[in-house]
Structure 1
Amino acid sequence: MTGEVSDVTADVTKELTRFQRYTQGLVDNALNAGTKVIIVIILFFIGRYVIRFIRRLVRKSLEKSKVDNGNINFIDATVKVILYILLIGLLAGYFGVETASIVAVLGSAGLTIGLAFQGSLSNFAGGMLILLTKPFKMGDYVVVSGVGAEGTVDDIGMFYTRLKTVDNRSIVVPNSVVSNTTLTNVTFYDVRKLEVIVGVSYKSDIDKVKRVLSELLDKESFVVHDKEKQIFVNELNSSSVDIGMRFFVKKSEYWASKWQILEDIKKEFDDQDIEIPYNQLDVHMDGPATDSSLRSE
Structure 2
Amino acid sequence: MEDPLIATADATGTEHSEPDPLAPTPPNRPGQLWAISDIHLSYKVNREELEKLLPRPDDGLILCGDVGESAEHLHMAFKTATSCFRQVFWCPGNHELYTLPTQKEHGARGEKKYEECVEVARQYGVLTPEDDYVLWEGEGGPCLIAPIFTLYDYSFRPAHVKLEDALAWAREENIEATDEHILHPDPHASRIDWCNALLARTEHKLSAAVASNPDVKLIIVGHWPLREDLVKLSLVPRFSLWCGTKKTNDWHNRFNAKVVVSGHLHVRRTDWKDDTRFEEVSLGYPRQWQECKDRGLDINDLLREILPGPEAPLEPRSTRWRRYG
Q: TM-score, normalised by structure 1?
A: 0.18
Q: TM-score, normalised by structure 2?
A: 0.17
Bigger CA radius of gyration: 1
Structure ranking higher on relative contact order (CA contacts 8 Å, 6+ apart): 2
